[in-house]
Each structure stands twice: as structure tokens, then as C-alpha cells.
Structure 1
Amino acid sequence: MPATAADALTDHVIAVISESGLDGLSIRTVANRADVSIGAVQYHFPTKAALLRAAMRTVAQRSAERFRQAESVSDEPGKLGALLSLLVPAGPDDDTARVWVAFSARALTDPEIGAVYRDIWERLRSALVTLIGATAGLAEDAERRASQVLALADGLTVNVLAGTISAPEGRRIITDSVFSDLV
């Protein structure tokens, strides 16, 4: 449950982006969805850019929480498997993944979103490098493999969200792509 009015509005921002993309987002659409005045939205988020930043921060926080759960697994191969599974969305209605894809595209043209995207991507890559190196004992090849996994995850995410492959199939593909080489 959202802790503040701004958190509640951010949840509405994420829902709008998930349903309509970044182009469907406006202060008015968030106000209508939240059943509040435009002024109430502008009090917390004076511009569309502020709405986007809040949504990006929240999606990053939600993703970080998912990954912290994966890190609670005790053995390195188990952690790697859990992290790989989290890189593929739960299904076509996964709001966090849908917003992530929208931000991925916007990262190409928006320097601020691009910086956040690159930071998150690099943190994920670093975690994968560590886990792949520890699991396979292939530290010298782990950086290349981690970049390949993230590129594959991006493609699988789009395909799961588009409904061209199922989430379980996407998770099997990403897990096999790593573990088939390591055993």
C-alpha cells in the first residue's frame, strides 16, 4: 500500500505507462485515473518529466527488491538461477516489466532516463559477472557472458510482454543459455 499521496500517484503513473506507454502519460491522465484534481498531481509532480522520474525510481526500487530476494538464496548457482528467473517478466501484464521496456526505449533520447537505465543495467551486469564467475569458475569470460544474458533478457522480456512466448518458456531459455555452458 502506498505510504504517501505521492507514492499513490506514482502507482497511477506506472499503471498509465503500462497501459498506454510514455506517450499516453500526462498530468491530466494521472489526475483522472487517481480521481484527483490536476492541481493535486502538480503539487507533487509539476511536470511530465517529474512524473517520469518518479516512475523510473519506483520501478528501479521494485526491481532492486526483487533482486534482493534472489540474493537471499544461500548457494551461488541458486542465486544465479533466481536472478536469471527474475530477468524475465511473470507474464504479459507485469507492470514493472512493461514500464521498464518503455523506459528502455526512452533511454535512447532522454539523457536523464538514459543515465538511470545505464546505472541499473551496469549493476545487474556486475551482479551477473560475480555469480557467473563464482558458479563456473570462469571469471575471465564472465563479463562477456553477463552482457549476453542481459541482451537476451531484454529480448525475452519484449516477447513475453507481447505474448509471443510464455514466461516459463522465457525463463527456461535464459536459464539454459547460462547453465548449459556451465555444466
Structure 2
Amino acid sequence: MVRASDAAEARERLVGAVVGLVAELGFEAVSVRQVATRAGVSAGTVQYYFPTKQAMLRAAMAEVTARVTTTVRAYHRDLPPEVAVRKTARKIVPLTEAGTEEVRVWLAFTARAAVEEDLAAEHRKTGGLLEAHVADLLARASGRTAAGAGDRANSALLLATLDGLALGAITEPRRLSGRRLARLVDSAVDQALASSRG
């Protein structure tokens, strides 16, 4: 009998393999054989935890979402709101190569969500939570206790801008260097904060 801790560790290793494959090679690289090879397990082990490719992809999306939301919640809890907005923005846009894996996977899922309803539903849920979180931070940075319509609009605009910058960072790294991205991210945050205060 497999211990619960061993099962959790095996599943975590498999999800990590899927995330790595999507980040490096895209969805088409995800197969039972490729995941098994990367994770160092048998194909049967992969199929035990994930009977379909869709199940593997959903698990990978959930993992990346959990990573981001855990970090963002920690910012919200532990930092002044203006600092938390900036840190959140820099989490969404990869300013260094080390930060690109999650963003590559997130953008891959964003594209896939356009044609697959179950992924689209998860994407909408995560996007809505992130938008509400940033709206709350913008309101608090402006001295209000609750986000209003203006904060929500500014949050939506900021997140759309950050998504565009993240896409550019992944597809055009020579044009959008880390230093240039940092300036653009800071400028987008400044505008959002100013609009919420105005």
C-alpha cells in the first residue's frame, strides 16, 4: 500500500514535470511518455494519477495558479498595499529568466482557454480573484477600506497591461529587456495608483 505522503510526493513530481514541459515545449510536448521520462517514473504511474492528458494539464494549471496566488496573498498580508501592488505586478511579469516558467505556463493556458471551456472556467475564476485582490490593494493604497468601481476598472486595466508585458517578455526578450520591463511595470503601477487616488 502506498503511503499518503509518498503518493502526494509522486503526484507533485508528475505535476512539476508537466509544468516544465509546457513551459519549455508547449502543450504538444505533454504526453504520458514524456511526463514519465521527465519525472523518472513508469507510464503506468503517470496514468494512475492522471488518466488523461486533460487531467495533467488541469493539474499543471492548478499548480501554477496556486504558486502565484499563494505569493500574492502573502504580499497582501505582509506588505503595505502600494508595495504589495508593485510586488504582485513583478510576479506577473517575468523580469528575469528565473521567473519565466510560471508565466510561460500561464500564457499557454490563457491561449488554450480560448478553445477549451473547462480551462476557460478555471482561468476566469483565477482572473476574477486576482482582479479583486489588486482592486482591494489599490483602494487600500488610496486610503479606502473597500474597492469601488474605479478601483476594479483600474485593476482590470493594470492586469491587462501586465499580461501584455508578460507576453512581450516571453516572445520578444531582446526588445523587452529586464530593465526596460521593470520601468514599464513600474509605470503601469504608478498610473493605476494615480487613477485610483484621483
TM value normalised by structure 1? 0.90
Structure 2 equivalent of residue 75 of structure 1: 80
Query: Distance between the aligned counterparts of 1:34 and 1:159, measured in 2?
Result: 30
Give deviations 1:62-121, integer Å, cap 9, x for gaps: 111221231244422222222222221243452111100100000101111111111111
Matched residue type, 1:156? L
* Partner SS state of residue 46, structure 1: coil
Pair 1:95 & 2:101 matched: yes
Give the 5 Å matches for 1:33-48.
Answer: 33-48=38-53
Amino acid corresponding to residue 163 of structure 2 in structure 1: D
Aligned length: 182
Q: Measure, in 2, the Cα distance between the counterparts of 1:66 and 1:17.
A: 21
Q: SS at the partner of 1:173?
A: helix
Which one of the candidate residues 128, 138, 142 is aligned to 2:151?
142
Give the unaligned 5+ runs of structure 2. 1-5
Q: Are the aligned partners of 1:159 and 1:165 in contact in 2 as well (CA < 8 Å)?
A: yes
Unaligned runs of 5+ in 1: none
Retained in 1: the 8 A contact 2:109–2:119?
yes
1:88 & 1:18 partners in 2: Cα distance? 15
- Percent sequence identity over matched residues? 30
What's the RMSD between the two structures over aligned residues?
2.0
C-alpha contact (below 8 Å) 1:91/1:161 kept by paired residues? no
Amino acid of the structure 1 residue aligned with 2:125: D
1:32 maps to: 37
| Structure 2 residue aligned with 1:56 | 61
